[in-house]
A and B are shown apart, each in its own frame.
Chain A
Amino acid sequence: MTAATAKSPSTTPATDTDADALRIENVGRRFGSTDALQGFDLTVRRGEFIALLGPSGCGKSTALNCLAGLLPLTDGRILVGDQRIDVLPPEKRDFGMVFQSYALFPHLTVAKNVAFGLQMRGVGRGEIRRRVDEALRLVRLEDQAGKLPGQLSGGQQQRVAIARAVVIEPRVVLMDEPLSNLDAKLRLEMRTEIRRLHQTLGLTTIYVTHDQEEALSLADRLVVLRAGRVQQIGTPQELHDHPANWHVADFMGYRNLLDAEVTSAPDGGAGGGDGDGAGVEVRADGLSLRGLAVDPVAAGERVRLAIRPSDLVVTDPAAAPGTSSASGTSGVSGASAASGTNGAPASSGTNMIRARVEVVEYQGREYAVEVRTESGRALHVRSDTAPQVGVDVLLTLDPARALVYRFDLDPADAGRSSDAADRAADESRPPAPDPIAAEAGS
C-alpha cells in the first residue's frame, strides 16, 4: 500500500536518469565450483529503492558485497553512468553501506562515527560538523551525539549506522538486512524511518532482505533471487499479483504450494492469462482443482499450484450452496474419509475443498487457520470468524486465484536444487505472516 503506490519522489527526467543510472551487467560470482550469483542484470534509476529478496543462501548478500566491492566479481561489470566501478576498490566507489551487525566503530562517539566518512573525504571541519548535525537530526539522534555506540539501544545503533552511510551522500546506499537484529515492533518503526529517509534524501538504495513484507513496503522494485539467479524483477504489485514462478509466489505469501498433475489443459493453459480464465484442471493430493495456468502447461505435466491463504474462503458446509452436490457423500459433522472425489469443481466453476480445522491463530482482524483435507494435506486459510477446532468446513477457491506453475524453476538445473531452495524458503519465512503482508499489495 505504501511503497507500492508511492513512487520515489526523486524520480528524475529520463535524460538525467540514464547518465547516473547504476548498471549491473551480467554479474556473477563463483565460490569454488558453486555459483553464488549468476547472470545478474539490473539497471537502477537514480533515486530508486531496490530490494533484493530471497531466502538465505540465494545470493542476495553476495550481490550486495559485489556491489560494495568487498567481493571481486567473477563475471560481468558494474557501471555508474559511464564509469566502470567494479574495478575500483570499495573505498573508491563512493557507496554507503549499512551492515546487519551495524558495524559501528565502538571506540568512537556517535558524532565521530557519522563524521568518519566525511573525514576520509577531506571535508572541512566546519562542514563536517554541520553535516553530522544534520544527519543526526534526520535520524533523530541529536541528543546522543556524544555517546559511544555501546550506550545506545539496537534501534538507535541502527539509526547511527544509517546516518553514517547517508551523510557522505553516496551514489548508492547498500543495506544488508539492516532490520534483522531488531525486535518486531522496532522493525516496523525503522522500516517507516528508512522509507521516510529515502523520500527525504532520494538516495539510490539497494536493500537486501529475506522478509517479503519489508521488501514490499520499502522498495520501488523488487528483485527475487534463488540459488544465485534472478527469478523476477518488478514492482511490488507486479510481484505480489503476478509471481513469475512458484518460488516467487511462495515468497509473496502464497503459503499453499501443492504439487499437482495437469489433468486437462484445454488450450495449453495459454489462454488462461486473461478474463476469468479457461484455465486448467489439475489433480493434487486427491483434490481436483481448477486453476489458472501462468506458464503454458500440457496435460499430464507435473505442476505446482500456488494459493494465497486469503483466497481460500471458509464457509460453513451447512450454509454453503451446492454443498451436497460437491461432496454429498457425508453429513455435516461426519468424517468422510472414504470420499476420494472430494473437492471436485462445482458446477459454478468454483473449487470446493472439504477440510477439518486443526489450528486457529488470532491475528488481529482475522484468523489464520490451518486445516487438513481428507487426503491429509495441510492448507493455510484465513477466516473472519474463528472456526472451532475439529469442525469440518468447506473451502471455496476462485480458479483465477489458484495459480498453476511449471514445476521446474530453471530448465538448466531442474530439480537439483529446488528441494534445498524449498527448505531454505520455509525456514526463512516468518512463521505467521502479519496481516500487513496480505494488505501490502492489495
Chain B
Amino acid sequence: MSAATTTPSAPASSGAEGAPRPVGRPRSSASLRHRLADRGIDGQMLLLLPALVFILVLFVYPFAYGLGLTLQPTQETVETWGGGVLANYVRFFGDSFTFASVWLTARLAIPAALFNVLFSIPLAIKLRHRFRGKRLISTLLVLPITLGTVLTAQGLLIFAGRQGWLNQALMGIGLVDQPLDLVHNYIGVLLSLIISGFPFAFLLISSYFSGIDPSLERAARSLGAGWAQRFFRITLPLLAPGLATTFILTFVLAFSVFPSATLVGNPSGSTRVLAVVAYRFFGEQFDYPMASTVAIMMGLAELIVVAIVLFARSFFYKGTTGGKG
C-alpha cells in the first residue's frame, strides 16, 4: 500500500511548517501527495464511492425519512394517545397489544437463534474430520438455504399439518391419538426459523472452527486434558467470539421474521411479531407513521440484544487462533 510507504521528504516538509523553509528544498507536488497518502488519502479512496452512494441512497435517506415519519403522528393517534410529536412512541409503549409483540418476537427469535448456534457446534465438530459421507451431510445441512422462507412454510404446512404425513405417520404407528398441532402456532414458526436459520449458523460456525489450529487440541490432549476439558478450556473460549457473531446474525434474521409468522404461524395471536404489527399498521390501517415507529422500535430491540452480546463478547479472547481461517 502506498499509505504505508514512508517518504523522506514528508517529515522534512512538515517540520518546516513553523520554521522558515530550508533553502533549496521547494515543496514538491509529490510531497503533498505522499503526505496525504500517509494519512490514508489516495486515489484508491475513489473505490469507496459506489458503496457510499449505495449507503446514502438506499439506507441513510430512507432511514432518516422513516425516522422523520415517526415524529409526524396522525391526528387520530395524537387525539387518542397524546404526547404531541412523540404520540407514536407513546402509543407503542402504551398499547399493550402492540408492545406485547416485542415479547412475542423475542420469544421466537432468541430460542431459534440459540438452538441454531448450539446445535451447530456438535455438527461442526464432527464435520471437521474427514469421514465417509461428509459431503452428503454438509450438503443436506446447507440445502435449506436455497429454499426461500415461503417454500419452507409451504413444505411445513404439507408435512406437519393436521393432515400432513408426520401426523398421519405418528397416528398410524399409534404414538399419538390426536394429530399434533405443529403449524399455525408458535411451534410452526419456530420450526420454520430453525430450518431457514440453521444453515447460516452451521456454515459460519464451521468456518470459525476451521480457524482454530487443530494442533491446539492435540497439545491439550498431550498435556492430559480429557474431552470435556479440551472443549471447555480450549475450543469453546476460542470459538466464543464466533458463536456470539453467529448468534447475532441468526437472531437478527429471526427477529425480523414475517413470511413464516403469517404462513405457518398464528399472526393475530401467538406469533404476532413486530413485522406483522408494522405491516398491519401500514397495510390495514394505512397509518404510515405508526408502521415506521414499529419498524424503528424493532431495530432498537435488535440493537439492544446485539449490544448485550457484543458486550459479553468483549470479555473473550479475540486474537488469532492459529488455524487456516
Contact = CB atoms under 8 A, between A and B. Distances in A.
B224 A103 contact: no
Nearest to A68: B222
Given A101-B322, A116-B223, 6 more contacts: A70-B218, A70-B221, A90-B222, A120-B223, A150-B320, A168-B224
Contacts of A90: 218, 221-222
A103 B234 CA distance: 11
Interface residues of A, number: 29
Contact of B218 (A93, A103, A168): A103
B219 A97 contact: yes
Interface in A84-135: 89-97, 99, 101, 103-107, 116-117, 120-121
Interface residues of B, number: 23
A60 interface: no
A106 B320 contact: yes
A148 B224 contact: no
B237 interface: yes
B180 interface: no
A91 B213 contact: no
Interface string A368-401: 0000000000000000000000000000000000
B2 interface: no
A89 B218 CA distance: 11
A91 B224 contact: yes
B321 A106 contact: yes
Interface of A: 68-70, 89-97, 99, 101, 103-107, 116-117, 120-121, 148, 150, 164-165, 168, 174
Contacts of B224: 91-92, 94, 117, 120-121, 168
Contacts of B225: 91, 116, 120
Contacts of B218: 68, 70, 90, 97, 99, 103
12 contacts: A69-B222, A90-B221, A91-B222, A93-B222, A96-B223, A103-B213, A106-B321, A107-B316, A148-B319, A150-B319, A150-B320, A168-B224
A107 B318 CA distance: 8
Nearest to A70: B218
A69 B317 CA distance: 30
A90 B222 CA distance: 5
Contacts of A168: 223-224
B195 interface: no
Nearest to B319: A150
Contact of B223 (A69, A70, A107, A117): A117
Given A91-B226, A148-B319, A150-B320, A105 B221 contact: no
A105 B215 CA distance: 10
A95 B222 contact: yes
Contacts of B223: 91, 96, 116-117, 120, 164-165, 168
Interface in B184-209: none
The listed residue with most A CB atoms (<10 A of its CB), out of B219, B222, B238, B319, is B222
B22 to A, nearest CB: 40
Given A91-B221, A116-B223, A120-B225, A99 B215 contact: yes
A107 B321 CA distance: 8
Contacts of B234: 105
A106 B316 CA distance: 11
A107 B237 contact: yes
Contacts of A106: 216, 238, 317, 319-322
B163 interface: no
A90 B316 CA distance: 28
Contacts of B317: 106-107, 148
Contacts of A91: 221-226
B19 to A, nearest CB: 40
A104 B215 CA distance: 9
Contacts of B213: 101, 103
B229 interface: yes
Top 6 A-B residue pairs of the complex, sorted by shortest distance between their CB atoms: A107-B317, A117-B223, A120-B224, A103-B219, A97-B222, A103-B215
Contacts of A150: 319-320
Contacts of A104: 219
Nearest to A150: B319
Interface in B209-250: 213, 215-216, 218-226, 229, 233-234, 237-238
Interface string B99-131: 000000000000000000000000000000000
A359 B148 CA distance: 69
A116 B229 CA distance: 10
A148 B321 CA distance: 12
Interface string B293-325: 000000000000000000000001101111000
A120 B220 CA distance: 9
